[in-house]
Structure 1
Amino acid sequence: MTQSNTVTVHILDKDYCIACPPEERANLESAARYLDGKMREIRMSGKVIGADRVAVMAALNITHDLLHKQQNLDQQASSTREQVRDLLDRVDQALATDQDAPQS
């Protein structure tokens, strides 16, 4: 069993010790900085009071962004698949036309 290292991250004026494999440390620290920034934006707006509520609003905003980006990726993948199908059809038509042409 591999032992995880503990990483301390600072989010909204609090430290959190989190078990994390060494190869994921940079990603965890990056995620913590991102979350801290989002929570600070929400707190600075003055519309949400209380760390718990700020955390929930940040989680909702981040989740919304993630789902929106995933939807865009899905739409792009669908569009790309359609373009590839169209190109394959055109290649098939060109090959069929070439085979039908008299050979000299």
Structure 2
Amino acid sequence: MSDPVAVRILDREYLIACKPEERKGLVAAAAYLDGKLRELRDSHRGGGLERIAILAGLNIAHELLDQQQQQASSSENLAQHLQAIKTKLEAGLPTSLQ
């Protein structure tokens, strides 16, 4: 069941339907977006709301992609380390146990 949740973004209130278990994430996402929009609005005086929204979306998308790339790199490094450990363990075990 979805319940409306009120969030404020750039001093405007929006009612957004979401499941109760998603409420905390929605409120956090709205606060994050509001912060990004305010940051850009304050640093780009004279820019329209559409431009600010596009810039905020691009910045957030860039952050997401960068985070995903770092996570993939960390996962790859972990897999390599685990493989090296496995190889060392197998090399040290008697052949009857391998």
Regarding TM over 0.5, the answer is yes
Contiguous gaps of at least 5 residues in structure 2: none
Q: Structure 1 vs Structure 2: percent identity of aligned residues?
A: 42
List per-residue Cα deviations over 1:8-57 (Å, max 9, x = no partner): 11001211111111111111011000000000000000256111111111
Q: Distance in 2 between matches of 1:96 and 1:47?
A: 71
Structure 2 counterparts to residues 1-104 of structure 1, below 5 A = 3-46=1-44, 49-96=47-94
Which TM-score applies when normalising by structure 1?
A: 0.86
Of 46-55 and 74-83, the range deviating more from structure 2: 46-55
How many residue pairs get aligned? The number is 96
Alpha carbons of 1:83 and 1:4: their partners in 2 closer, same or farther (altered >3 Å)?
A: same
CA-based RMSD? 1.5
Q: CA deviation at 1:96?
A: 3.7
CA contact (8 A) 1:48 1:54 kept: no
Larger radius of gyration: 1
Q: Measured at CA, do residues 86 and 36 of structure 1 come closer, stay the same or move farther in structure 2, by a change above 3 Å? A: same
Deviating beyond 3 angstroms after TM superposition, the runs of 4 or more aligned structure 1 residues are: none
SS in 2 for 1:18: strand
For structure 1, the 5+ residue unaligned runs are 100-104
